Amino acid sequence: MRYGDLVQLYFHRSNALQWYWTVYVVVIGGLLAFSSLRQRPHALTAILVSVLFAMFAYKNLGAIRDVTMERYAILAAIKEYPVDTTADAGGMALARQKIEPNLQPPAYEGVRNFHVASDVLTLAAIWAMEWRRMRATRAPVLP
């Protein structure tokens, strides 16, 4: 595998990671829209939505973890790639000096913590809307 192939693979995995985050944000938006548009309280629906979201979030975080680890492995291969000393390699050395310092994937622990915090906030929002609906149906209607 050539150096350019490794760099291309690194960015391919970066795009895959971006897609996992995009799907995650779209699902959260859909869940919050669904929860906000419901008019009548129904605890079973809220429980089902919560469990399904938790399962999705767990699998999404696993996929994000896998891609992040792949990016770290590819980055290690990029940095360990042998330096070509031929006269033709002058441009390659310059490219390496410019590219490699900018390949800095975020630490997985920070990504995980952000994902879990977003998961908790999403579930809190779903249940806050459900409890608001429950309180509204129990409140006496004033004439």
Collapsing DSSP to helix, strand or coil, 32 comes out as helix
Arithmetic mean of pLDDT over the chain = 89
Contact 113, 119 (CB under 8 A): no
Tokens of 50: 């919560």
The confidence score (pLDDT) of residue 143 equals 62
pLDDT computed for residue 85 by the predictor: 63
Contact status, residue 89 vs residue 110, Cβ threshold 8 Å: no
What tens digit of pLDDT does each residue of 32-77 get?
999 888 878 788 888 999 999 999 999 999 999 999 999 999 999 9
Domain residues of the chain, as ranges? 3-134
Mean pLDDT for the stretch of residues 124-133: 91
pTM of the model: 0.83
Between CA 39 and CA 136 the distance in angstroms is 10
Q: Is the pLDDT of residue 83 over 90?
A: no
Q: Which of 60, 66, 3 is nearest to 31 (CA)?
A: 60
